[in-house]
Amino acid sequence: MADSNFLTEHNARHVWHPMAHPAEMRANPPVIISGGEGTEIIDIDGKRLLDGVGGLWNVNLGYSCDPVKQAITAQLNELPYYSAFRGTTNGPLIELSVALAEFFAPDGMVRSFFTSGGSDSVETALRLARQFHKLNGQAERTKFVSLKKGYHGTHFGGASVNGNQNFRRAYEPLLPGTIHLAAPYAYRNPFNTDDPKVIAECIVQQFADEIAFHGADTIAALIMEPVLGAGGVIVPHEGLMPSLRSLCDKHGILLIADEVITAFGRTGAWSGSRLWGVKPDLMCTAKAITNGYFPFGAVMIGSRVADVFEADRTAMGSIGHGYTYSGHPVGAAAAIACLAETIKKDLPSNAAARGVELFDGLEALKERYPLVGDVRGMGLMCAMELVSNREDKTPVGKDTVAKVYKGAYEAGVMVRTSGNNIILSPTLIITSQDVARILEALQAGLKAAG
Ligand code: PLP
């Protein structure tokens, strides 16, 4: 590989990074990652870092998962690609859809529609929701409801339901008729309380009010993450999702669970919907479905939606939507192996146990460092929110966040920053020693930030 200076220079000149300004990338060149092993990544200078980010919430099984690598290699040799558009299919994709139907049976899912990633999955689910209502003779049900601070990817549909202006403003006008409810964010919310149960009740009331205002017959679906990830790991009260489900049922509105992060064990449950005991109508998955080794995703479809499409014999019942890489045989082979490894290793149990250790350690850091205003977590998705003043909760500036990041990096742990949050989503195979290493590095970062 070319040397580090050459790569950095050319990166600055020719690469346009997601979610970043090219000038910022020149001023603060990104770390060049050149290797991965187990729970660690290795930078171009040979520095080993415990990966506190798990790639991007997706490398649940770590970087050395041989069964997945072997499945990918074998499939590349057997059939590296063929389309799954009408007329052809392939063995891995059929086998995977059987495995996924079994895996997500407790969530009420029966069929899979394959995609190339999370944004594709969200786009697909939104389209299926609208088409479902058209097939049901309710063509005017076109609006979508979502939560502020929710993240649903970057396609126009997903951006429209995203609950963060940073991902919307430059691209407006987006889909008309999207309705945003408050985030279930106990630390900051418009309800003048920090009680998650009261906040959940207020959000449910908001949903009821919006339904009454817009008319249920105009609303296609509510889309939400069971635990909000990119918005800063916001864990709702256990009653929120079930209560929203009940309102959806009462008013004929579909529930789309965006489980791009939460499916496959990250929260300590097999899926985020199962964590809260809810059966969605559609479920978006991606990320850990292939452990990040191959771009892939699946929208899981419940029988209520599948049956309506099945029963329709007009041209409208055929879905006018699909990707060149829908059902890619290599992605499907990777996903089959990931699913088997996730089950064999019982990853949710480790995520739950290590998640408690991590959360408790973060709470202890909050006791010691006034910079830590709030700590949130469920399983192995955690966030530490940094404030310059605990009384008025003033968010710290970029420089302070950067100091915490750098301190942790120098201490040998990669963390992710998002606004004034430090986000942790390590691989689900970490040990208690790894958790201790993350906490020590964060402490070093907090000390460095003063
Ligand atoms: N939905 C959720 C909940 C996500 O967290 C993400 C990505 O982080 C997406 C959708 C979009 O996924 P992708 O980046 O694979 O398109």
Q: What does the alpha-carbon distance between residue 307 and residue 363 come to, in Å, rounded to a whole number?
A: 47
- Please report the atom of ligand 1 found closest to the CA of residue 121: 10
- Please report the atom of ligand 1 found closest to the CA of residue 229: 5
Q: How many residues does the chain have?
A: 450
What residue spans define the domains of the chain?
31-61+346-449, 68-344
Q: Which regions of 38-79 does DSSP assign to beta strands (E)?
A: 40-43, 48-51
Q: Is the CB of 203 under 6 A from ligand 1?
A: no
Q: What is the average pLDDT across 80-92?
A: 96
The backbone torsions φ and ψ at residue 195, rounded to the nearest 5 degrees and listed phi first, read: -90, 110
Angle, alpha carbons 339-377-150 (nearest 5°): 80
Q: Is the CB of 423 under 6 A from ligand 1?
A: no
Residue 1, pLDDT > 80, answer no
β pairing state of 178-181 and 143-147? parallel
Q: What does the alpha-carbon distance between residue 385 and residue 371 come to, in Å, rounded to a whole number?
A: 8
pLDDT per residue over 117-134, tens digit each?
999 999 999 999 999 999
Distance 81 CA to ligand 1 centre (A): 24
Amino acid at 384: M
- Quickly state the pLDDT bin for 2 (edges 50, 70, 90): confident
**pLDDT computed for residue 315 by the predictor:** 79
Distance 119 CA to ligand 1 centre (A): 6
Q: Do domains 31-61+346-449 and 68-344 have the same CATH topology?
A: no
Q: What is the average pLDDT across 182-190?
A: 97
Q: What does the alpha-carbon distance between residue 38 and residue 13 come to, in Å, rounded to a whole number?
A: 32
| Placement of tokens 């195979």 in the chain | 429
Nearest residue (CA) to ligand 1, atom 1? 152
Residues of 374-399 as b/e, b for ≥16 C-beta within 10 angstroms?
A: bbbbbbbbbbbbbbeeeeeeebbeee
**57 near 229, Cβ under 8 Å?**
yes
**Which neighbouring-strand residues pair with 147?**
181
**pLDDT computed for residue 317 by the predictor:** 82
pLDDT per residue over 395-439, tens digit each?
999 999 999 999 999 999 999 999 999 999 999 999 999 999 999
Taking each helix axis from N to C end, the angle separating 196-214 and 240-251, rounded to the nearest 10 degrees, works out to: 20
Residue 209, pLDDT > 80, answer yes
Lowest pLDDT segment from 6-20, 99-113, 224-238, 350-364: 6-20
* Conformational region of residue 161, where left means phi above 0, alpha means psi within -120 to 50, and beta covers everything else: alpha
- Quickly state the pLDDT bin for 450 (edges 50, 70, 90): confident
Burial environment of residue 312 by CB neighbours within 10 A (0 to 12, 13 to 18, 19 or more): middle
Residue 181, pLDDT > 80, answer yes
The yes/no answer to whether this complex scores an ipTM above 0.85 is yes
Distance 297 CA to ligand 1 centre (A): 10
C-alpha dist (Å) from residue 130 to 5, 142, 178, 254, 273:
50, 6, 13, 10, 22
Q: What does the alpha-carbon distance between residue 220 and residue 127 come to, in Å, rounded to a whole number?
A: 10
pLDDT per residue over 219-230, tens digit each?
999 999 999 999
- Please report the atom of ligand 1 found closest to the CA of residue 286: 15
The backbone torsions φ and ψ at residue 274, rounded to the nearest 5 degrees and listed phi first, read: -70, -30
C-alpha dist (Å) from residue 228 to 50, 68, 150, 162, 202:
24, 28, 6, 11, 18
Q: What does the alpha-carbon distance between residue 161 and residue 153 come to, in Å, rounded to a whole number?
A: 9
Return the biggest CA–CA distance within the chain.
66
Q: Is the CB of 117 under 6 A from ligand 1?
A: yes
Query: Is domain 68-344 classified as CATH 3.40.640.10?
Result: yes
Which CATH superfamily does the domain covering 31-61+346-449 fall into? Aspartate Aminotransferase, domain 1 (3.90.1150.10)
**295 near 287, Cβ under 8 Å?**
no
Q: What is the average pLDDT across 159-181?
A: 95
The backbone torsions φ and ψ at residue 430, rounded to the nearest 5 degrees and listed phi first, read: -70, 155
pLDDT per residue over 284-305, tens digit each?
999 999 999 999 999 999 999 9
Q: Is the CB of 296 under 6 A from ligand 1?
A: no
Q: What does the alpha-carbon distance between residue 31 and residue 47 come to, in Å, rounded to a whole number?
A: 11
